[in-house]
Structure 1
Amino acid sequence: MINTGNHLAFYSTKEWKHIRSEVRKRDNNECQGCKRQGKVFTNKSEPDKRKRLDVDHIKELEDYPELCLSIDNLETLCLRCHNIKHNRYVKKENKWNDEQW
């Protein structure tokens, strides 16, 4: 059993790197979140490093450590979809008060 307590150590293991590669192949290197919305997103469609593809645990690693390497619990997501899923997508507020102009 792999120790998932230390995330950095887990994501550096050869087992994770192997399964991540398998998931991306299975998903045709396409964001599954975008695909569900009828869009196609690949690393080639947007070469910007900040918009890369990640492999995400569908059921969270912290809650389901036994599924850490289960291919059925993994999917490819673009950074935007991944951040939205984890509520890390923060919409910037307008600094300007249009009423003052």
Structure 2
Amino acid sequence: MENMDKKVENKLKQMDKENNEEILENFNNFKQYLSEKVEMGQKMGLSEERLAQLTEKVAGYLAKNEEPRNREEHLLQQLWTVGSKEEQHMLAHMLLRMVEKE
């Protein structure tokens, strides 16, 4: 599991700024990107709990390193920032459910 965490962290650090801009320019792009990554994780056999843990890493990175580009991202960043670790974990689960329904 720790190896997967390192891969996620390295991938986040290597995100091409241009690609990053495209993903975050609107909320639908972000949801599509997250949906694709969740589907990939499910195909790899990752549980919902593990996917939520990885989603937490991504959300934490975005909250620290990226400026929101729309109202939805701004709201997510605010919720993430004020939330406890437990609330952030629940928000990660909610994000997963949101993109699974799409």
The verdict on a shared fold, with TM-score over 0.5 as the criterion, is no
Computing the radius of gyration from Cα coordinates, the structure with the larger value is: 1
Q: Which has the higher contact order (CA 8 A, sep 6+)?
A: 2
Structure showing the higher helix proportion among its residues = 2
With normalisation by structure 1, the TM-score equals 0.30
Structure showing the higher strand proportion among its residues = 1
With normalisation by structure 2, the TM-score equals 0.30
